[in-house]
Structure 1
Amino acid sequence: MEIQTAKKSWFSRNWPWVVPVGGCLTIIVIFFVFLGSVIFGVSKAFTNSGPYKDALAKTQEDDYIVEMLGEPIETNGIMNGSLKFENDEGSVDISIPIKGPEGEARVYIVGTKKDDTWTYSELYVILDETNEQVDLLWGKENNEN
């Protein structure tokens, strides 16, 4: 007479390595989801800010920059710098990479916020191809000095 023994399931044979590996993978996935949401949140805070919108609008309205980069002009990558505001006061010191069909550049913004109004001490574009600085606060006539 032949004795049959019950065969263990796959999980009961492999649980000593499946549980730790599965747990580690779960923690890694949760970490990357958290990291992505933090990066997305910070990026959204920058793009919804007044200085970001003001700088992009002035850049897209400047005839010389449009001539050099072409249209449409849009952002091109991750901004860097600092943007701080609380209640009616704040400060900004950021740079935004931009691009058009004919070239790339970077917009630099330095300013302060007081009484819910942003005032910029510096707002300019540096064109990548020529390394030329175009001042958006004072207009093209002051860029030729």
Structure 2
Amino acid sequence: MEDSNELVQRQSWLNRNWKWFIPSGCLTLLVLVALFIGGIFYEVTSVLKDSEAYKESMIAVENNKLVVEKLGSPVETDGIVSGTVTSHNEVRTCNVQVPLKGPKGKGTLFIVGEKRGTWKYSEMSVYIKNTNEKIDLLEK
């Protein structure tokens, strides 16, 4: 009897607790990885939404009567903003897609532009999903 008690006492903590420690350790690792990826995603999305190009384009969307007519009011973002905003030697470029929604439908805002002092857009348009229509926001 004494030998078996000695054997139980000699087992390491991990040998006694591995059945719950390993699964919970793996779960903790997965949660940390998910939080890290989520944090990076949040930062990238925040950079895109904080850009001047995004803000100017959303103002153009809200002030365009045809877009408001097709999507309804208010027009809001609907999901993940994607694309790139880069800066090199004081020249900024953007190529961004913004999913939009309104009470009447959904669409996508496309923004392509370059900033050398002020933003100059080569494209700022809204694609309306329901009607397969493209509305150019740069037209006067």
TM-score range, shorter chain: 0.7 to 0.9
Runs of 4+ in 1 over 4 A off after TM superposition: 11-14
AA of the residue aligned to 2:76: E
Aligned partner of 1:121 in structure 2 is: 122
Find 1:104's aligned residue among 90, 103, 106. Answer: 106
Larger % of helix: which? Answer: 2
Count of aligned residue pairs for this structure pair: 131
Of 77-86 and 92-101, the range deviating more from structure 2: 77-86
What displacement does 1:121 show?
A: 0.8
AA of the residue aligned to 2:20: V
Normalising by structure 1, what TM-score? Answer: 0.81
What displacement does 1:130 show?
A: 1.0
Aligned partner of 2:138 in structure 1 is: 137
Q: Taking every aligned residue pair, what percent have the same amino acid on both sides?
A: 33
Q: What is the rounded CA distance, in whole Å, between the counterparts of 1:106 and 1:136 in structure 2? A: 12
Q: What is the rounded CA distance, in whole Å, between the counterparts of 1:113 and 1:14 in structure 2? A: 63
Structure 1: unaligned runs, 5 residues or longer: 140-145
AA of the residue aligned to 1:54: E
Per the alignment, do residues 87 and 50 of structure 1 end up closer, same or farther by CA in structure 2, a change over 3 Å counting? farther
CA contact (8 A) 2:53 2:119 kept: yes
